Amino acid sequence: MSNYHIKHLEEYFQVYRKSVRNPEAFWEEIAEEHFLWRKKWDNVLSWDFSKPEVKWFENAKLNITENCIDRHLTTRGEKTAILFEPNNPNEEAQHISYYELHKRVCKMANVLKENGVKKGDRVCIYLPMIPELAVSLLACARIGAIHSVVFAGFSSNALATRINDSDCKLVITSDGSFRGKKSIDLKGIVDVALNDCPGVKTVLVAKRTNAEITMVEGRDKWLQPLLDEAYGDCVAEIMDAEDPLFILYTSGSTGTPKGMVHTTGGYMVYTAYTFKNIFQYKENDIYWCTADIGWITGHSYIVYGPLANGATTVMFEGVPSYPDFGRFWEVVEKHKVTQFYTAPTAIRALAKENMDFVENHDLSSLKVLGSVGEPINEEAWHWYNNNVGKNNSPIVDTWWQTETGGIMISPIPYVTPTTPTYATLPFIGIQPALMDENGQEVKGNQVEGRLCIKYPWPSIARTIWGNHERYRDTYFSAYKDKYFTGDGALRDGVGYYRITGRVDDVIIVSGHNLGTAPIEDTINEHPAVAESAIVGFPHDVKGNALYGYVILKEFGETRDRDNLRNEINQQITEHIGPIAKLDKIQFVTGLPKTRSGKIMRRILRKIASNDTGNLGDISTLLNPEIVKEIMDNSL
């Protein structure tokens, strides 16, 4: 038997060594023993980071939904696969068994087919956290269609860009969504987006809020009647291990969002194996990840990883503050959650509230706590550990990315001793490297550098949809034969990694990656704006918040500043979404620039962070005098 489930530190080191010495043999054993293949591979791995090209389990055939659903039917058919907890605590939770999930996925798959969706077609999913969302992903996978989920907090503009980039022909959405006290008109957002998406022929609409919406004749169809009519079984399409499973967009530091493409076989093996170990998953556990399925965390660790292990995975529709700040803990108590996986921004927000919200609930079911999305600060780590885990549930600080598909650096709970703010050790099969400014690897411990990965792992993204060159330039050109993550990290005396944050122009706000350039482009479209620059500054709940420096055109000079600020944020909300709004907007007459015209963001970051003690050498700037003006008026 392979070491599918690692139970102590010695074993981790032993398996890690094995996985690094002979990765092909290691992953072959894992793949062979724990998954259902219609045909085995001819070759485990071929790769070349200079192209870049990576192929895992070449020519193997499978369907991921047979692994996530069908194979559990004989052993766990009655077991809850998806436990849906609605936004409103008074609405009953739904326990969707593996049988029921199979039926729902097959019906949805048949509806997609009847609406002309074929293997390889792209389907855009723009849904709130309701069971139809998970079912839609799986239904696409069932028939070999490529899903592209767009987080339902994105604006119509952002949605249209994503639909067009991957040429989706069908959209699945709902009449609306509930978020705390609010209900949001999702269908209205889709309608506006589709004015710019001629390729979309069909929109399937799930009913959730019963809002009055307009249905466009010939294009829009209510989903439920179609599901009612559909046949409850659907033969799974046989896919190649390297066929695309999904596209998921992530912000780049420049340009349009990048449609990261994940393929089937390697993604399945890696998400399942990491889920099992990093959450020490055992049969009958109740696992809850609070992320939205619109992000990679939801794809890998709400849907595919847990279901591939036959787990019960909680899907939560609501927000941590509704009906009050005890909601997370109420749900943990109600469903006896054993693993709880959330983001530092949520922990910080809850830590500010009254302790009664935590203490009034029985959290004794918890065994493992997880954190993801941004560095977790020491204070938040201790609050989580003391008050939620009662010093009794190890915290797994999991570092990974949309591009990596699965968790890359993380403790294994009850195996790896944890240290606050450290993601600790590379997971099995992961070979990190820290690089210095000259492109050399920094060896040894007590060192810092830019974080790269030296060797492919099964769930690495294979390309950017429609733009392989951008994929190479972004990830494989900075360091020869290495995948560059865009993050900085340090390695301490015992070899533990601590992620220090992005080293490019991506800013993580409340766990969401935001590129500065697209936000600046949006601001610059405002008629009164001449130029702008965005930087991040520390924020005690969001981790980082956005600070914008804006130069106005002459006619803008006389306008009311607060009105302008509102208009700029409104424009950002419409073009990108409310998550990209600026906390502070300072109007300036110039921006510090180098002689070659590049904005010196380093200086702007320091001013925004109130850290002006050492601005470094500014004498080489084109316009050094502007620095004082900006400092004197900083917000």
Enumerate binding residues for ligand WTA (CB under 6 A). Answer: 250, 295-297, 371-375, 397-402, 423, 485-487, 499, 502, 508, 513
Question: Nearest distance from residue 577's CB to ligand WTA, in Å?
Answer: 14
44 burial level (CB within 10 Å; 0-12, 13-18, 19+): buried
Q: Alpha-carbon distance 228 to 249, whole Å?
A: 32
Q: In which element (H, E) is residue 159 found?
A: helix 156-165
Smaller CB separation from ligand WTA, 253 or 431: 253
Smaller CB separation from ligand WTA, 63 or 463: 463
Rounded to whole angstroms, what are the CA distances from 615 to 375, 586, 599, 607, 629? 25, 19, 15, 9, 14
- Selection from 596, 607, 82 nearest residue 311 by Cα: 82
| Residue 453, φ and ψ in degrees, nearest 5 | -125, 135
Residues in CB range of 579: below 8 A, 6 or more apart = 153, 509, 510, 512, 514
Question: Nearest distance from residue 301's CB to ligand WTA, in Å?
Answer: 9
Q: Alpha-carbon distance 247 to 378, whole Å?
A: 34
Is 169:117 a contact under the CB 8 Å cutoff? yes
Question: Nearest distance from residue 542's CB to ligand WTA, in Å?
Answer: 14
Is 153:146 a contact under the CB 8 Å cutoff? no
Question: Nearest distance from residue 291's CB to ligand WTA, in Å?
Answer: 8
Q: Alpha-carbon distance 89 to 565, whole Å?
A: 37
Q: Which residues are registered as beta bridge partners of 247?
A: 148, 261
Smaller CB separation from ligand WTA, 157 or 371: 371
Smaller CB separation from ligand WTA, 131 or 373: 373
Name the residue number minimizing CB distance to ligand WTA.
Answer: 402
Q: Alpha-carbon distance 168 to 200, whole Å?
A: 6
DSSP state letters, 102-127? HHHHHHHHHHHHHTT--TT-EEEE--
Smaller CB separation from ligand WTA, 267 or 295: 295
Radius of gyration of the chain (CA): 24
Q: For residue 413, say if its preceding peptide bond is cis, omega within 30 degrees of 0.
A: no
Smaller CB separation from ligand WTA, 97 or 345: 345
Q: Which residues are registered as beta bridge partners of 545?
A: 537
Question: Nearest distance from residue 117's CB to ligand WTA, in Å?
Answer: 27
Question: Nearest distance from residue 297's CB to ligand WTA, in Å?
Answer: 5
Smaller CB separation from ligand WTA, 278 or 608: 278
Question: Nearest distance from residue 492's CB to ligand WTA, in Å?
Answer: 15
Question: Nearest distance from residue 536's CB to ligand WTA, in Å?
Answer: 12
Smaller CB separation from ligand WTA, 41 or 273: 273
Smaller CB separation from ligand WTA, 447 or 615: 447
Question: Nearest distance from residue 580's CB to ligand WTA, in Å?
Answer: 14
Smaller CB separation from ligand WTA, 456 or 592: 456
Question: Nearest distance from residue 501's CB to ligand WTA, in Å?
Answer: 6
- The residue written with tokens 């991921």 in the block is 64
Q: Where are the beta strands (DSSP E) in 16-126?
A: 43-48, 53-58, 61-62, 80-85, 94-97, 122-125
- The residue written with tokens 């097959």 in the block is 106
Question: Nearest distance from residue 300's CB to ligand WTA, in Å?
Answer: 8
Smaller CB separation from ligand WTA, 117 or 129: 129
Residues in CB range of 521: below 8 A, 6 or more apart = none
Q: In which element (H, E) is residue 27 found?
A: helix 23-34
Smaller CB separation from ligand WTA, 237 or 374: 374
Smaller CB separation from ligand WTA, 152 or 234: 152
Question: Nearest distance from residue 9's CB to ligand WTA, in Å?
Answer: 21
- Selection from 49, 29, 53 nearest residue 41 by Cα: 29
Q: Where are the alpha helices (DSSP H) in 399-548?
A: 468-475, 516-524
Question: Nearest distance from residue 401's CB to ligand WTA, in Å?
Answer: 4
Q: Alpha-carbon distance 327 to 561, whole Å?
A: 39
- Pair of tokens at residue 276: 């099992």
